Amino acid sequence: MLGRMQDWPLRIMRLIDHAEREHGSRELVSLWADRKLTRTDWAGVARDSRKLAQALERLGIRRGDRVATLAMNHSRHLVAWYGTIGMGGVIHTINPRLFDDQLAYIANHAEDRVLFYDAAFAPIVERLKSRWTSIEHYVCFDPHDDAGGFEALIAAESGDYAWVEGDEREPAMLCYTSGTTGNPKGVLYEHRSAVLHTLAQVCPDIFNLEARSVVLPVVPMFHAGAWGLPFSCAAVGAKMVFSTDYAPDLMCDYMRSEGVTHTAAVPTVWLALIQYVEATGADLGKLKSVHIGGSAAPRSMIAWFNARGVRVGHAWGMTEMSPLGTVGAPTGDWDGLTEQEQLDQQCRQGRVPFGVELRIVDEEGQMLPRDGVASGRLQAKGPWVVAQYFQDENGPCIDDEGWFDTGDVAAIHPDGVLRITDRSKDVIKSGGEWISSIELENAAVGCPGVAEAAAVGVRHPKWDERPILLVVKQPGIELTASAVIDHLSGHVAKWWLPDEVVFVESLPHTATGKLLKTKLREQYRDFRLSSAA
Ligand code: ADP
């Protein structure tokens, strides 16, 4: 048949070309560890990225090579992304909060050749240098008096550079899961997967980004690529606001002074911010949209933002999904719902954008209905979902029909809304039935005086497992175990009530700010329950 459309590979560098051409003067602001601000714009990021691409070629980096970062969020980190990808390299963002053994493993497994790092992480670099076998060049992001740092590296270049072109299926970015069990696994994002993810992310029901948006990605660039925001902000020409520090007082001031409209982070970050605002009466400026994901957003947190006119996008995703899976947005019948019903809806994890397909299956792999009742293993498909981990001898991680098993347990409602009930490893199995640790925790966090809570299964002679609840109190508050149980009774089935409430000073977290359930399970598995005596 005569006629065809243009061949325009979905390459990431087209995003930065677009931002430079159409939104070149739109600002990017960075707040550094020394509390100084610097400003650049999309044209500046594009210019510096071309210089960095040249510099990397000068260092002998070739197409497909991995260039790592160990850094918080700032514009130089962004230049490292676009400069590396622009010369055909693969940007590998390392999470500096991982343990030394994981840090050693990840960089060696990725065969990183260059490492860009923040001065704040220089001690990590010093400790691990002798264990990292492939890194040839270490470049500090922070300005140096002596020659050396990042600015000196790019200052030597002209910026007269054309991005490396190629197939849209070429790799561009490497992110490792935090590997709560076994070694971390690498997910290799491709140009095409990242661009498609970007197009979905900016949509109204998803992140609702536009040229007027002012976006503060609190989520670090090393946590599933700041959830894709550095790409989607370029796509729409949004202003980006970066910070290397998330102290609540700093964040509130910064959000006000830069006019931040959109932000995104894991729930633990918001817990601290909410406590600060409650204590000081600070205001959130022009903030109108908060995305919460990485762990389930507690109902009380969603209600708090609702009361301030800030839209909550409750998001579910994972590194393996680039990371966007679902986001909560008003459903068609929204206006007819009461406030409490709307809140019920927001506590769920929302719906997929075009590009993601989900289903739930039982233990035998049989598909379960989308009735909001049945819950089973959640599986996903789509052009930005992993098919095989990086350099993984186990081969593909999808089944014959292309489904990837997420390791989460969920229900899907008839309107397509997802409800995550647990991670399959965290679910508490009591008397052959499942108790959702997430629901228990979220109900507990809604109890006045509870700062944070974790529900874990403890061995039980009759029931197999019974839940206990570990609770961190808010400072200076009197709180008893029976008050917590009373509160929970109004929210969960009686047989779900924890057999014991244990008050603890603090709870352990993973490198991405989630409750470290593996450690808690180990620690409390053999906890002596008085009910089991
Ligand atoms: P890591 O554990 O390495 O931080 P991810 O950030 O990719 O890895 O974690 C993905 C997992 O986080 C999901 O499989 C799910 O268990 C959990 N998760 C993410 N968002 C939510 C949410 N909104 N509600 C409940 N669980 C979530």
In order of their start, the domains of the chain are 13-19+38-209+221-231 (3.40.50.12780), 359-423 (2.30.38.10), 428-532 (3.30.300.30)
Pocket of ligand 1 (CB under 6 A): 177-178, 224, 293-296, 314-319, 323, 349, 406-408, 420, 423, 510, 512, 514
pLDDT category at 148 given cuts 50, 70, 90 is: confident
Of ligand 1's atoms, which has the minimum distance to the CA of residue 184?
3
**Please, what is the angle between helix 267-280 and helix 248-258, to 10°?**
80
The total of other beta-carbon atoms located within 10 Å of residue 46's CB is 24
DSSP H or E segment with residue 465? strand 464-473
What pLDDT does residue 477 have? 87
Burial of 340 (0-12, 13-18, 19+ CB in 10 A): exposed
Whether pLDDT at 412 is above 80: yes
| Strand 428-430 to 239-243 pairing | unpaired
Query: CA–CA separation, 165 vs 66, rounded Å?
Result: 17
User: In this predicted model, what pLDDT tens digit does every residue of 422-432 receive, in sequence order?
Assistant: 888 898 988 88
User: In this predicted model, what pLDDT tens digit does every residue of 233-286 receive, in sequence order?
Assistant: 999 999 999 999 999 999 999 999 999 999 999 998 998 899 899 999 999 999
Whether pLDDT at 145 is above 60: no
* Closest to 108 in 3D by CA, of 66, 57, 166: 66
The total of other beta-carbon atoms located within 10 Å of residue 256's CB is 15
User: In this predicted model, what pLDDT tens digit does every residue of 441-459 receive, in sequence order?
Assistant: 999 999 999 999 999 999 9
Q: Which residues fall within 8 angstroms of residue 7, CB to CB, at 6 or more apart?
A: none
pLDDT category at 221 given cuts 50, 70, 90 is: very high
Average pLDDT taken over every residue of the chain: 94
Look at 11 and 177; give whichever has higher pLDDT: 11
Residues paired with residue 240 on neighbouring β-strands, in sequence order = 28, 215
CA of 24 to the centre of ligand 1 (A): 35
| φ and ψ of 161, to 5 deg | -150, 140
Whether pLDDT at 332 is above 90: no
Whether pLDDT at 124 is above 70: yes
In this structure, which long-range contacts are made by residues 471-474, counting pairs with CB atoms below 8 Å and at least 24 apart in sequence?
A: 471/444, 471/501, 471/502, 471/503, 471/504, 472/503, 472/504, 472/505, 472/506, 472/507, 473/449, 473/503, 474/275, 474/449, 474/450
Give ∠ CA 24-29-35 in degrees, rounded to 5.
160
Query: CA–CA separation, 111 vs 82, rounded Å?
Result: 20
Residues paired with residue 290 on neighbouring β-strands, in sequence order = 263, 312
pTM: 0.93
Name the least confident of 8-22, 345-359, 478-492, 509-523.
509-523
Q: How far is CA 171 from the centre of its chain?
A: 20
Options 268, 381, 434, 514, the catalytic residue: 434
What pLDDT does residue 31 have? 96
Name the least confident of 47-51, 128-132, 139-143.
139-143
Whether pLDDT at 147 is above 70: no
Of ligand 1's atoms, which has the minimum distance to the CA of residue 349?
23
Whether pLDDT at 476 is above 90: no
Nearest residue (CA) to ligand 1, atom 10 = 318
pLDDT category at 144 given cuts 50, 70, 90 is: low
Catalytic residue at 496? Answer: no
Give ∠ CA 353-446-469 in degrees, rounded to 5.
100
Tokens of 425: 């490893």
Name the residue of 222, 408, 438 to mutate for ligand 1: max ligand atoms within 8 A of Cβ: 408
